[in-house]
Amino acid sequence: MTEESPSAWALLPLPGQSTAAAYLTGPLAKQYRLIVDILDDERHVSLTGVGFDELSVLIRRRLPDERTGELMAEFALEARMRQLVEWGTCESWQDHAETQQDFLRNRFRYQLTEAGSAFNAAVRRVEAELGPSSTAVLLAPASLTERLNATLAAIDAGDPAAASKELAQAQTTLDAMGAAASEWQSRLAAALGGSPTEQKIQRLLETILAYVEAWGSGVDAWSDAILGSLPRLGEIADDTWRAMALARLGSDAPESSLATTVTEMRRAVTTVGTWFAGTEPQAQRLRRRIRDAVAPVLRSHRTLLAVGGTVSRKADLLRLASAMERAPDGVEAWRLWCTATGLFPARHFTLTTPEVSNGPRVSAWEAPPAVISRRLRAQASRSLAGRPAQIVDNAAARVEARRLALREQADLERAAASLTARSGTALSHWADLTATESVLLLALISAARDQRTPGGPSSAVSADGRWRLVLHPRPGSAVLNTPDGRLVLPDALVEFGP
């Protein structure tokens, strides 16, 4: 392809290269980012930009004192500023010369462009792992409801200017809510991918708590009120939309700008409808995604607690415990423990002396001295007072543990038989559950949700492989009463059995 025949992609009206962000890459990114950070900080205190000489002083202040001279020797500030202006990250202009010395110095002043400021703010937010704070949207659902109702009230009163102002505030609230939801989605994707770590679990917990504070207690409480205002918003006439657009842009605005503004306001109403209306609104899908993230949090916690940052010996310890439990008496159990741990008494003691068993028969007074190590000479006189302590006898505890295990197994068998008797009925028709029944059922329901198919049944098998649960979804919801409280979940036809 030659330069005279441009690519078809070059002719598409799509966003392309943004040179204002070019300072973020390349070998000199640290120098460019230092300049941009300083200009971004100074724009809050200086409304007329930063002069070249002032910028050089600010850069020196940011550098470590012991290496300022060395670093500034490699810092070509004029070349860096020309490049930033060429990329569109900064804009520059010259001060008026008032004295003869002004003609001899660099009189350029610099300020970030809108694109440069936006890129730098985004990069700072990403590097600090910050997004829209959950507290910023705590009042957003209630505010959105008030703004939509105020918009309809202003339209009924024949005041399109007031209606336009109220809808503008609703649009701002929608943007904040959308940004928070987008942040939650990205955090969930990052935290649920790969092997669990402490940082991922902490991030996932923060995301779930942020949802509960901002969305779970706000949007869910105001969803019905927001949904009630949607039909009237959808019935607003075209001339009313045009009057609201004129209130924003003025009577001399061109038709193209009015049409764009009307489309923008209509899109806000469409967004509200997408979030809260329909058979499967976005708010409900987000709630389901947050709910499904609770089980991975618990599994990740158990994984980290079991591994503890090293290779787990849990399987070996369980095999040893099983062998000791099958031992006929305490003596055999103690022998198994000593064999597994290497806990044996000393068998013999050797001195580094020549072999004298078959040597000449000499008196101990006349024989050469034996070589004894310094450590033995220093510690040989130490001894224990009395008998050494014996290991604690846990025979009675093992008997009690076997009895409790048999009782728990019997309770589990009775609970499984009770759930089997309820097979073929809907959850909404079930009577109260016992503690063991609720534990067995909730474990299977949690596992079934991870294996469900859209619109189809979901199934799960118990950890020991003895019981199988199949849920066929039904419309509506069910309330199960357990000893620990009430459980609300979607209704389903239950199949339970071995």
- What is the SS3 assignment for 241? helix
Q: What percent of the chain has pLDDT over 70?
A: 77
Q: Which residues contact 334 (CB under 8 A, 6 or more apart)?
A: 391
Q: Which pLDDT does position 383 carry in this prediction?
A: 44
Mean pLDDT of 434-459: 79
Q: What CA–CA distances, in Å, run from 332 to 340, 393, 398?
A: 12, 12, 14
Least confident of 82-86, 165-169, 394-398: 394-398
- Check pLDDT > 60 for residue 354: no
Mean pLDDT of 140-156: 85
- Check pLDDT > 60 for residue 324: yes
List helix spans (H) across 63-131. Answer: 68-73, 77-87, 114-127
CATH fit for domain 17-125, picks 2.30.30, 3.20.20, 1.10.10, 3.40.50: 1.10.10
List helix spans (H) across 16-76. Answer: 29-42, 52-62, 68-73
- Check pLDDT > 70 for residue 58: yes
- Check pLDDT > 80 for residue 16: no
Q: Which pLDDT does position 379 carry in this prediction?
A: 57
Cα dihedral sign for 174, 175, 176, 179? positive
- Check pLDDT > 50 for residue 134: no
Higher pLDDT, 313 or 209: 209
- Check pLDDT > 70 for residue 44: yes
Model's pTM, two decimal places?
0.42
Least confident of 81-85, 417-421, 448-452: 448-452
Determine the Cα angle at 315 with ends 313 and 320, to 5°: 95
Mean pLDDT of 159-181: 84
Higher pLDDT, 100 or 282: 282
Q: Which pLDDT does position 362 carry in this prediction?
A: 67
- Check pLDDT > 50 for residue 454: yes
User: How far apart are alpha carbons 335 and 328 in whole angstroms?
Assistant: 12
- Check pLDDT > 70 for residue 381: no
Burial track 442-463 (b if 16+ CB lie within 10 A, e otherwise): bebbebbbeeeeeeeebbbebe
